[in-house]
Structure 1
Amino acid sequence: MSQTPQQQDLEGRTALVTGGASGIGLAAARALAGSGAHVVVADVDEAGAQRVADELGGRAWAVDLLDTAALAELSLEVDVLVNNAGIQKVAPLQEFDPADFHRILVLMLESPFLLVRAALPHMYERGWGRVINVSSVHGLRASPYKSAYVSAKHGLEGLSKTVAVEGAAHGVTSNCINPGYVRTPLVEKQIADQARVHGIPESEVVERIMLGETPIKKLVDPEDVGSLVAWLAGPHASMVTGASYTMDGGWTAR
């Protein structure tokens, strides 16, 4: 990365960030706005999306990404699409509710597909576009008790590469970011479930489960992910496409 995100010029570009009201999405929205982009903050939390949009001088979009019928009718005029929204469910396969499995795949795989589908015509017309998918190390590796999440993230990796191949001739790049455990509300909500399925106290979950295989013993900061989002969106990443960037403290290096 030859320049910091703050030095990049995204002025005149519109960026859409899903799940932008908190966590990684909030950090990404701030980083993109700091690079000059007009940011559309999409979230099911309408008040949260509006709060972030007001902070950044952007626009809030209250949207339920599980409403695939509505998404299929969309036409998006955005230059940067950040697919970030996600949920988690921790349970053994034999206890995993099929409805939960389906809901996670819809939110984290089908809705990104529909948003990309809605955004590509505008990107192709302008001859420029960035699709940035917030995946996970679980898009590259599996962990027990996360069948839906791991399946969705592996699927997102394939979608991202397909967009990279199809979009190349039109100036559109597509990449994944693969963080380990990030210090976000989504991760904090997992602690009780992880303790239950692993049979350990909640106080030991971060050290033993989340960071057990990670050489750098700390959770990823959302701002670090946001910085990478801004770099991938900028002009200095024009030859980066079809890639998956791990940010996991060395977990996948083992």
Structure 2
Amino acid sequence: MTTTITSTDATGRPAGMPDLSGRTALVTGAASGIGRACARHLAAAGAKVRAVDVNAEGLDSLAAEITAETEVLDLTDLDAAERVAAGAGADILVNNAGVQLVRPLEEFPPDGFERILRLMLHAPFRLIRGALPHMYGQGWGRIVNISSVHGLRASPYKAAYVAAKHGLEGLSKVAALEGAAHGVTSNCVCPAYVRTPLVERQIADQAAVHGIPEARVISDIMLTDSARKELIEPAEVAAAVGYLCAPEAAGITGISLPLDGGWTAH
């Protein structure tokens, strides 16, 4: 039998976890996947979590696990998104909410393209815009944008997703440059394929456009460029987010942190 012992610090947090006591974290797309893992991690680090998602049932489930304020919100309502950020008193903003649509360019629905850009680029802009006055006023803030390896590389059949993530990378860098004088950092975390419902929902679409069985999608498509032939776990991404929110990470801003199993090493 193997026994795992997890050490804790004086506050009861797992050793090495940042101290975010007294901080408020606004996490979008928090009902599942990466967002849920981030909400759990930040709450464990002592932050007061405000969790936003369109999925009411998922938010209820999260609130049963951790202490969190939840709000059901469709972030494509951009005015509402900005109001939530402005009223949250957020010291930490994690822009995570996202969707995916896999189609060849000539078949890509324009309304789907517009919706993805609205959710994954326009909404983060409005959330940052709403959150910054509070962050600037106190001279401290952390913006962490959940980008993707597709913010650094392109893949076929993902025009909207790749465009949105590339745009988010640029937005994050501008926020870093403008926020530096106010004690606000802005960074991107760029995972490859993570074991989430979003990835699971891609498998059928990927199989169809590539003309292969669904069973081969993960090995032949998703992990073909990764040296580490495993899906990334949501908790791995959350740990990176937590580190970037730590007081000790004040000097890290304007970066794109790959969690890609070696994809971008090629």
TM-score by length of 1: 0.96
Counterparts of residues 95-106 of structure 1 (less than 5 Å):
95-106=107-118
| 1:230 partnered with 2:228 | no
CA distance in 1, matches of 2:83, 2:229: 45
Task: State the partner residue of 1:34.
Answer: 44
Q: How far apart are residue 61 of structure 1 and its match?
A: 1.1
Task: State the partner residue of 1:65.
Answer: 75
| 1:93 partnered with 2:99 | no
Query: Secondary structure of the equivalent of 2:52?
Result: strand
Structure 1 gap ranges (5+): none
CA distance in 1, matches of 2:60, 2:136: 29
Q: Do the aligned residues in 2 keep the contact of 1:81 with 1:130 (CA within 8 Å)?
A: yes
The root-mean-square deviation of aligned C-alpha atoms, in Å, is: 1.3
Task: State the partner residue of 1:25.
Answer: 35
Q: How far apart are residue 50 of structure 1 and its match?
A: 2.5
Query: In the alignment, which of 233, 237, 240 is matched to residue 221 of structure 1?
Result: 233
Task: State the partner residue of 1:12.
Answer: 22
CA distance in 2, matches of 1:5, 1:230: 13
Amino acid at match of 1:126: Q
Number of aligned residue pairs: 252
CA distance in 1, matches of 2:15, 2:148: 21
Query: Secondary structure of the equivalent of 2:156?
Result: coil
Query: Secondary structure of the equivalent of 2:243?
Result: helix
Amino acid at match of 2:96: N
Q: Do the aligned residues in 2 keep the contact of 1:133 with 1:175 (CA within 8 Å)?
A: yes
CA distance in 1, matches of 2:24, 2:83: 20
Q: How far apart are residue 24 of structure 1 and its match?
A: 0.3
Task: State the partner residue of 1:110.
Answer: 122
Q: Do the aligned residues in 1 keep the contact of 2:75 with 2:123 (CA within 8 Å)?
A: yes
Q: How far apart are residue 157 of structure 1 and its match?
A: 0.1
The superposition leaves residues 198-236 of structure 1 with CA deviations (integer Å, 9 ceiling, x where unpaired) of 010100000000001111100001100000111111111
Task: State the partner residue of 1:144.
Answer: 156
Identity of matched residues, %:
58
Q: How far apart are residue 195 of structure 1 and its match?
A: 0.4
Return closer, same or farther for 1:6/1:44 CA change in 2, 3 Å cut-off.
farther
Query: Secondary structure of the equivalent of 1:122?
Result: helix
CA distance in 2, matches of 1:135, 1:117: 18
Structure 2 gap ranges (5+): 1-8
CA distance in 2, matches of 1:142, 1:30: 31
Q: Do the aligned residues in 2 keep the contact of 1:17 with 1:81 (CA within 8 Å)?
A: yes
Query: Secondary structure of the equivalent of 1:183?
Result: coil
Query: Secondary structure of the equivalent of 1:174?
Result: strand
Task: State the partner residue of 2:6.
Answer: none
| 1:125 partnered with 2:137 | yes
